[in-house]
Amino acid sequence: MAAANSVFLNALGIVCALGTGRRAVAEAVFAEDRPHGVLLSDQFTPGRRLALGAVTDVLASVSDLPDTLRGRNNALLRTCLAQIRPLIDAAIDQHGAHRVAIIVGTSTSGLAASEHAHRHRQQHGQWPPGYHYAQQEMGAPAQFLAHELGTCGPAHVIST
């Protein structure tokens, strides 16, 4: 492939079952004592324990955000963003907040929190404090990042 057609990441922020940050994830990937980040759990299959990947690292707080932007996905995003924030801020400074787009790929958008909220409503007749439907909308991660970064260019989420 010619260099002009190459695709690469300028920066990578990562939080996953293997760890937080490029170095921790790389070390876990190449470690001989795998698997890392795998827990036996029956959380999703009561009575039947399965090996599931799970993020167990401490995540950035989202308690300062409005209810519509609070949630685990945005805590994950804020943790990733901290790893690459200086590079993003430099791009915004260079090109302007209106010229920076946000494109996020995600396979979930707060569904676990939504399931918990629905169970709470069934049991108590009302939504739990702090729950808002917007927390689980597919576009929520991009809206959060635009809010966090102060950008006003395109902001989209692609479902993976």
Segment 143-148 mean pLDDT:
95
Strand partners of residue 90: none
Residues in the chain: 160
Q: Is residue 6 over pLDDT 80? A: no
Which pLDDT tens digit goes with each residue over 7-61? 777 888 999 988 999 999 998 888 877 667 788 888 889 999 988 888 889 999 9
pLDDT average, residue stretch 108-116: 72
Q: How does residue 100 score in pLDDT terms, banded at 50, 70 and 90?
A: very high
* CA pair distance 120, 38, nearest whole angstrom: 28
